[in-house]
Amino acid sequence: MKFKPTQTPGKMLVELDRGESFPAGANEKTTPLFELKNILVPIDFSDCSKKALAYALPYAREFGANITLLYVARFDYAASEMDSSEAPVLEGAHLERAKKELLKITQKLPVGIKIKTVVLTGKPYQEIVAAARDLDSDLIIIGTHGAMGVEREFMGSTAERVARYANCPVLIVRERERDFVTTNGTTKLNSRHSTESREK
């Protein structure tokens, strides 16, 4: 079985070798393997989430897909911790900083890839799942820490919940594992050891 690009962005063809057959109901002449138009990348400005973006770039380039960078601000402080008049000002300033950080990231990305940014407030996994639905996302690429125990509850739960509740496929990129892309989006396989050494 061989995969071939088509002149239509976002589609690939499957060419069968002698003796192979298509799944039942498939078109025997042209069967699209993937069709990606919209990729959602949640980002919190950590190295882990930026690594997820590095995975999204070659997908967007290959399929002519759009990337949406989503930042979700979560304000967890209790009402007693802050004067009620201060909260809107501080929250507004936080959201403005997030928008500026997203702009900095987009300015460093390769030209030719359509990028848009969205800033929301709320529980991260709920907002990510809702945004994926509202934006008609075909794929979510999200980073997660390779933590265990208590750390996993705090750092890994968002990715796990997104994978559980999202209405589209989710690619979870671990912070330190084997990689098949580099930070500039080119295809490359790195061992876990070399990845950890490079990130230290």
Query: For 130-146, what is each residue's pLDDT tens digit?
Result: 999 999 999 999 998 64
Q: Which of 21-30, 80-89, 122-131 has the highest mean pLDDT?
A: 122-131
In this structure, are 30 and 90 located in the same domain?
no
Share of the chain above pLDDT 90, in %: 42
In this structure, are 110 and 190 located in the same domain?
yes
Chain mean position to CA 133 = 14
Domain ranges, residue 22: 1-35
| Angle, alpha carbons 59-60-64 (nearest 5°) | 120
In this structure, are 155 and 190 located in the same domain?
yes
* Residue range 18-28: mean pLDDT, rounded: 55
Distant-in-sequence, close-in-space partners of 147: CB < 8 Å, separation ≥ 6: 154, 155, 156
* Residue range 167-184: mean pLDDT, rounded: 73
Confidence at 90, pLDDT banded by 50, 70, 90: confident
Question: What pLDDT sits at residue 154?
Answer: 45
In this structure, are 190 and 103 located in the same domain?
yes
In this structure, are 134 and 113 located in the same domain?
yes
Number of domains into which the chain is organized = 2
On whether the pTM is more than 0.75, the answer is no
Burial class (CB in 10 A: 0-12, 13-18, 19+), 41: buried
Question: What pLDDT sits at residue 189?
Answer: 35
In this structure, are 61 and 30 located in the same domain?
no
The CATH number linked to 62 is 3.40.50.620
* Residue range 62-77: mean pLDDT, rounded: 89
Q: How far apart are CA 176 and CA 51, in angstroms?
A: 10
In this structure, are 82 and 29 located in the same domain?
no
Q: Quick: pLDDT tens for 29-67.
A: 555 566 899 999 999 988 889 999 999 999 999 899 999
In this structure, are 20 and 43 located in the same domain?
no
In this structure, are 60 and 2 located in the same domain?
no
**pLDDT over 60 at 178, yes or no:** no
